[in-house]
Amino acid sequence: MRTRAHTTEAAALAMGTTSDQVKAWAGDFEQPERVHHAALIEYLRIDDDELRRLVLRGQMRRAQSRIRN
């Protein structure tokens, strides 16, 4: 979003979702559902493999956080 000088609302509009959803993804509170993957890939200008790595990293961070607590 910084690269494009987008607000959360503008990024959400570009991806066809809500700003709350974008915030949840960015904060690793939730993972994007498969229906949003194509829009994320296009918006982030990455390929499917890179998106999978990002999702996996988010899942690992949440798992580590739960283990510590």
Q: Is the model more confident about 5 or about 44?
A: 44
Instruction: Determine how many CB atoms are found less than 10 A away from the CB of residue 69.
Output: 5
In this prediction, residue 4 has a pLDDT band, given cuts at 50, 70 and 90, of confident
Evaluate if pTM is beyond 0.75: yes
Q: Do 6 and 40 form a contact (C-beta atoms < 8 A)?
A: no
> What is the pLDDT, as a whole number, of residue 59?
82
41-69 pLDDT, tens digit per residue, is 999 999 999 999 988 888 888 788 778 76
Extract the tokens encoding 58. Answer: 């988010």
> What is the pLDDT, as a whole number, of residue 24?
92
